[in-house]
Amino acid sequence: MNSIECMEHAEQDILHTYNRYPIVLEHGTGVCLFDTDGKQYLDFASGIGVCALGYGNEEYFGALKDQAARLIHTSNLFYNGPVIEAAGRLKAASGMDRVFFTNSGAEAIEGAIKAAKKYAYTRDGHTDHEIIAMRNSFHGRTLGALSVTGNEHYREAFAPLLAGVRFADFNNLESVKEQMNEKTCAIILETVQGEGGIYPARAEFLEGLAELCKEKDILLILDEIQCGMGRSGKMFAWQNYKVRPDIMTAAKALGCGVPVGAFLMTERVAKKSLAPGDHGTTYGGNPFAGAAVSKTLEIMERDHLTDHVRNISGYLWDRLDEIKEKHACVSDHRGMGLMQGIELKADVSAGEVSKKALERGLILITAGSNVLRFLPPLIIGQEHVDEMYDILNDILSEL
């Protein structure tokens, strides 16, 4: 099948929920991807923040191969070694106490919501607890995750969603306080809003929230699905602040491409939360996913990947600031670590820039209303940042 035939089949057979870029990716190496026509692309999206180690990492692939040959699945009715090792590494990296592995980010959010509700129920026996979520947030597409996603466009057709969710403004502590009442059991937010357009939480906001939560025994749920796993320059973005969540979620780069997510909690929460019979999954935390998580964390820690992220993200920051200075169409530049965005003025479409970038061999995706999102593999080097800069600079100059 050539690439045109591939795309025709896809449009006939696969439910049309995505407007895809017109290329068929075939293989990758380092920070580059190749399509079925042999064209090379510099990757600044890493499969939406998933492929943190880039492509063709022999050590990671070797671990998957070994585990696939040994045992892929057991069900959670039995213990398995790889997921126990993965849980230990994830606990050590996060400082959290208990982990539940899921198959996706949205499922991790579902679990986090259930864990918070069960905690509150154990405490007071009430069944009308409420959750505060943020406007402009994104937590996934399943019904529970959608219920806390602050984007009307994604939600409207699927109403009624989960009852008892109130929305507040991100980075506005007063707005959160206005939504709080005696029924509030949890506050959920992304440490750095991703899909909404790359907005990091301000320190005084997040630290204020954490204090408020502590005061009132409300659980702070931090969604680290996109900003976690080293991308911020720390293993988890909240580690850049003086806070510790009660519950957190991870996914995306957690398995570097093997579908796996997790929600984690402190022992204090775990003691009053999900117990046998309350939650489960057939696949979640199987040995194959466990091997992927374990090897990913092992490589990231051994190679001090977060140090590299802190260095290289400073370089990316400077180069994108140059872009902002040079081009009047750029209205803002924000982000944290290797999760950065530049916002374009309304007369220039980020989608159009992204399409032009693809034609020139650069994969660059969008976020929010008109934001170009930079989410490269964490192993990116200066030369790749420079290459990206040249392409983007050309495109913006020609507009």
The only residue of 44, 55, 138, 317 in contact with ligand PLP, by rule CB under 6 A:
138
Q: Any idea which residue has 């600031």 for tokens?
A: 321
The helix (run of H) or strand (run of E) holding residue 41 is strand 40-43
Q: Which residues share a beta bridge with 334?
A: 341
Contacting range for ligand PLP; rule: CB under 6 A; set: 52-60, 221-229, 264-272, 303-311: 221-229
Asked if 191 touches ligand PLP (CB under 6 A), the answer is no
Q: In terms of Cα–Cα distance, which of 392, 323, 398 is closest to 361?
A: 392
Asked if 148 touches ligand PLP (CB under 6 A), the answer is no
The only residue of 35, 110, 130, 190 in contact with ligand PLP, by rule CB under 6 A:
190
The span from the CA of 41 to the CA of 196, in Å, is 25
Nearer to ligand PLP (CB atom), residue 218 or residue 222: 222
Length of the chain counted residue by residue: 399
Nearer to ligand PLP (CB atom), residue 58 or residue 152: 152
Site for ligand PLP in 193-212 (CB under 6 A): 194-195
Residue type, 390: D
Site for ligand PLP in 279-338 (CB under 6 A): none
| Cβ pair 287, 79 in contact under 8 A | no
Asked if 232 touches ligand PLP (CB under 6 A), the answer is no
Nearer to ligand PLP (CB atom), residue 237 or residue 330: 237
The only residue of 139, 295, 308, 384 in contact with ligand PLP, by rule CB under 6 A:
139
Closest distance of CB 139 from ligand PLP, Å: 5
Closest distance of CB 315 from ligand PLP, Å: 24
Strands 130-134 and 184-190: parallel
Asked if 231 touches ligand PLP (CB under 6 A), the answer is no
Asked if 106 touches ligand PLP (CB under 6 A), the answer is yes
HEC states along 319-382?
HHHHHHHHCCCEEEEEEECCEEEEEECCCCCHHHHHHHHHHCCEECEEECCCEEEECCCCCCCH
Q: In terms of Cα–Cα distance, which of 205, 208, 212, 241 is closest to 224?
A: 241
Nearer to ligand PLP (CB atom), residue 118 or residue 139: 139
| Cβ pair 141, 297 in contact under 8 A | no
Nearer to ligand PLP (CB atom), residue 3 or residue 142: 142
The only residue of 57, 104, 239, 354 in contact with ligand PLP, by rule CB under 6 A:
104
Closest residue by beta carbon to ligand PLP: 105
Query: 160: cis peptide before it, omega within 30°?
Result: yes
Residue type, 344: L
The only residue of 47, 82, 105, 257 in contact with ligand PLP, by rule CB under 6 A:
105
- What are the residues whose beta carbons fall under 8 Å from the beta carbon of 130, sequence distance 6 or more? 164, 165, 166, 181, 183, 184, 185
DSSP string, 286-312: -HHHHHHHHHHHHHHHHTTHHHHHHHH
Asked if 144 touches ligand PLP (CB under 6 A), the answer is no
Asked if 110 touches ligand PLP (CB under 6 A), the answer is no
Nearer to ligand PLP (CB atom), residue 225 or residue 270: 225
The only residue of 132, 251, 292, 388 in contact with ligand PLP, by rule CB under 6 A:
251
Nearer to ligand PLP (CB atom), residue 229 or residue 395: 229
| Cβ pair 264, 86 in contact under 8 A | no
Residues at the contact surface with ligand PLP, assessed by CB under 6 A? 104-106, 109, 138-140, 190, 194-195, 223, 225-226, 251-252
